[in-house]
Amino acid sequence: MQSEQNTILRYALVGAGAGVFNMHRSALGLADMAVVAVADINPELGQRRANELHCPFYVDHQQLLAEIRPDVVVVMTPHPYHARIAIDCLEAGSHVLVEKPMAVQVAEADAMLKAAEHAQRLLGVIFQQRFRPEIRAARQLLQSGQIGRIQHVTMSAVWTRTARYYQSAGWRGTWKGEGGGVLMNQAPHQLDLLCHLVGQPSRVFAWTRRFLHTIETEDTVEAALEWPDGALGSLHISTAEADQSEYLKIVGTHGQLELQSGRLSARGLETDIADFVLTCPKAMASPASQELPIVLDQSPIGDHAAVYQAFNTAIRTNTPFTSGGAQGIIALELANACIYSSYTNSPVELPLDRQKYATLLTELIDRQNPL
């Protein structure tokens, strides 16, 4: 990978007319980068972005790549197009930063990783939640061993969506347009945090449901999870409830931590439960506990600017990016596994069988779009 140590990184944006563009605004003024071109298949929206950013506009991303040859391309199109566009950019010699989810199915993500390795370019996924101070602190607590061996994990997230939301774009809630529902649109950040903190589960049994919305895909998922070391967990994510909350609890043999609405709390046990249950003379008791100190760093908050800064640093120093392609694929594989488990009514061992999932997804798309 060539060094861009002392140069301004030349960025291009593909899919600049997308609504998610607004989340990128905070990053586009960073001092070590410049937006040199944008592309979008919608000429009106794309030209508007180009005028705003004072750069050329293209309808065809291939033409942009050939004429501009950007150092970095940010892909913010609807996710069924992520894989093909990212591979085009990597093959053209650009580093790629792609919006979540990385792709629709894990086989596409495999191809993206292969293209990045062949081109010796950096592939990153925009998982800005990893950069939140409380997430960094939680990861440090877990890696330090203060929680002990993880026994159980509970994750729940609810973001209410109305019928108007799903009616606002024809691709929402469709197999062809999204490749899934809540798992592919709302859940990727939570699935990533789950795997980022605890690791990818090795076994999944999931149920996907359409409880309220008139869509092709799921508005709710419930899953039972198992990790390679025997830890167990549960996952619940929905757009069809009124709870409007995000919650993650990780219980270990020496303590536990909870993340709720951006706040982290943690408690440590005075005696590891594995020792306590064997040595305590009482029939029913629990070890004493106390709050663990939490140190929140002053690094950038979890926004897109933090992602861009870390990506630029990784390019300049030729070092790993915190949510590089190999990391981004983990959450996607878990989402695919949940869908596959529900539709086959069976537990799924990870790694997921790529061909079997591709066949299922094709069947689901064809079922809704008969010839």
Indicate the residue among 105, 125, 145 that finishes a domain. Answer: 125
Q: What is the mean pLDDT of residues 107-132?
A: 97
Residue 163 structure tokens: 């019928």
149 with 285, same domain: the answer is: yes
Confidence (pLDDT) at 3: 47
- Mean pLDDT along residues 150-167: 97
Q: Cβ-count burial of 26 within 10 angstroms (0-12 exposed, 13-18 middle, 19+ buried)?
A: middle
In this predicted structure, what is the pLDDT of residue 261? 79
pLDDT > 70? residue 39:
yes
| Residue pair 218/180 in contact by the 8 Å Cβ criterion | yes
Confidence band for 6, pLDDT divided at 50, 70 and 90 = low
Which residues are 203's β-sheet partners? 226, 349
State the DSSP string of 259-291.
EETTEEEEEEESS-HHHHHHH-SSSS----EEE
Report the 10 Å Cβ neighbour count for 108: 23
* Amino acid at site 146: Q
The predicted model gives 89-101 an average pLDDT of: 98
Residue 8 pLDDT greater than 80, yes or no: yes
pTM: 0.95
In a shared domain, residues 190 and 224: yes
Same domain for 89 and 231, yes or no, is no
Q: Which of 99, 125, 151 is the last residue of a domain?
A: 125
Percent of the chain with pLDDT over 70: 97
Query: Mean pLDDT across the stretch 97-121?
Result: 98
Query: What number is the average pLDDT over the span 267-292?
Result: 97
Check residue 244 and give its pLDDT. Answer: 87
Q: What is the pLDDT of residue 84?
A: 98
Determine the pLDDT at residue 300.
Answer: 55
Are 68 and 209 contained in the same domain? no
Residues 290 and 182 in one domain: yes
| Confidence (pLDDT) at 299 | 63
Same domain, 105 and 244: no
Q: Is residue 305 part of a domain?
A: no
Question: pLDDT tens digits for 215-262?
Answer: 999 999 999 999 999 999 999 999 999 988 999 999 999 999 999 978
Would you say residue 309 lies in a domain? no
Do 209 and 268 have their domain in common?
Answer: yes
Q: What is the pLDDT of residue 104?
A: 98
For 282, residues 6+ apart whose C-beta sits below 8 A from its C-beta are: none
Is residue 114 in a domain? yes
Give the CA radius of gyration of the chain: 22
DSSP state of 367: H
Task: Report the alpha-carbon angle 232-238-241, nearest 5.
Answer: 120
Q: For residue 1, is pLDDT > 90?
A: no
pLDDT exceeds 60 at position 202? yes
pLDDT value for 2: 45
Q: Which residue has the tokens 């779009």?
A: 369
| Mean pLDDT of the region 20-36 | 95
Is 21 within a domain?
Answer: yes
Its domain, for residue 64, covers 9-125
Provide, rounded to the nearest whole percent, the portion of the chain with pLDDT above 90: 92
Residue 94, phi then psi, degrees to nearest 5: -95, 145
Same domain, 228 and 169: yes
202's tokens: 């090795």
pLDDT band for position 371 (50/70/90)? low
- Tell me the backbone φ, ψ of residue 336, rounded to 5 degrees: -60, -40
**Residue 76 is part of a domain; what is its CATH number?**
3.40.50.720
On whether residue 315 sits in a domain, the answer given is: no
Are residue 82 and residue 176 in the same domain, yes or no?
Answer: no
Number of domains in the chain: 2
Question: Which residue has tokens 């086959």?
Answer: 344
Q: Answer yes or no: do 274 and 158 share one domain.
A: yes
The answer to the question of residue 3 being in a domain is: no
**Pair (76, 201) in one structural domain:** no
For the segment 320-361, what is each residue's pLDDT rounded down to a tens digit?
999 999 998 999 999 999 999 999 999 999 999 999 999 999
d(C-alpha 79, C-alpha 191), whole Å? 17
